[in-house]
Amino acid sequence: MQTPHLDQAYEDELQHLSVQLSRTAARAEQMLRDAVRALISRDTSLARQVMDTDRELDRLEVELDKLCIVMLARRSPVGEDLRLVLTALKSDVDMERIGDLAGHVAERAIELAAGAGISAPPEVLELANGSVELVGRAMKALADRDGEAARAVIVDDRKLDNLHGSVIRRMIQIAKDHPDQLERSIAWSSVSRQLERAADHACNIAEMTVFLAEGQVLRHAGLKGNS
């Protein structure tokens, strides 16, 4: 646990930064959860709510960026404080991208709900649930500054990559066998890609969590490849 600073104003700023980071994380995670729920339940109203929420997440990202920049300029943080600021600066970009991807899934949910034909392949449902779970685990690891939990997120991301590959192969075969289902095959493939990318961004957040908790840089270190 980090030792509080003697400078109470500085300590308050760090706490505010942590709170804003948590708020941004929670909003991104909820958007993805709602998008998946809208997709599975064919709830177009919920899907539109997800798309509308994207503006709020954009605002949270901008506010968090400003906090980080001000802290770097005024406080010149070092050690774990600096790692927190850098983690917030990097992770909020990934959080914003998760929100964007949730919006894309919601768009596809509306499109798929309006049409008829092939329903969600089992692999898509598994990928959807896995992506939501992985994002949730990454956000919790960040909040807890838990490097071990973050490493587990990175390792488990490979399973979702494999699921996405299975979805694409299935959709290609369906499109060949049933040309009238080409558009829906493309739509489900797109959903799969958005979910897989959301999991990749969760993996990025997990890498930054390891940096925050342990001071170790994992990017390009090959952890996923060695899993």
Domain assignment of residue 124, yes or no: yes
Of 21-35, 92-106, 132-146, 160-174, the one with minimum mean pLDDT is 160-174
Domain assignment of residue 196, yes or no: yes
pTM of the model: 0.90
Beta-carbon contacts of 192 under 8 Å, excluding residues fewer than 6 positions away, are 123, 124, 127, 163, 164, 167, 168, 171
- Residue 98 · residue 32 · CB < 8 Å: yes
Rounded CA gap, 63 and 57, in Å? 10
> Count of alpha carbons within 13 Å of 64, Cβ hemisphere only?
29
Domain assignment of residue 2, yes or no: no
Domain around 70: 8-214
Domain assignment of residue 74, yes or no: yes
pLDDT confidence bin for 3, thresholds 50/70/90: low
Domain tally, the chain = 1
Domain assignment of residue 48, yes or no: yes
pLDDT at 119: 83
Predicted confidence (pLDDT) per residue in 53-64, tens digit:
999 999 999 999
Domain assignment of residue 123, yes or no: yes
Domain assignment of residue 226, yes or no: no
Tell me the CATH number at 119. Answer: 1.20.58.220
Rounded CA gap, 107 and 224, in Å? 31
Domain assignment of residue 116, yes or no: yes
Q: What is the DSSP string of 133-192?
A: HHHHHHHHHHHHT-HHHHHHHHHHHHHHHHHHHHHHHHHHHHHHH-GGGHHHHHHHHHHH
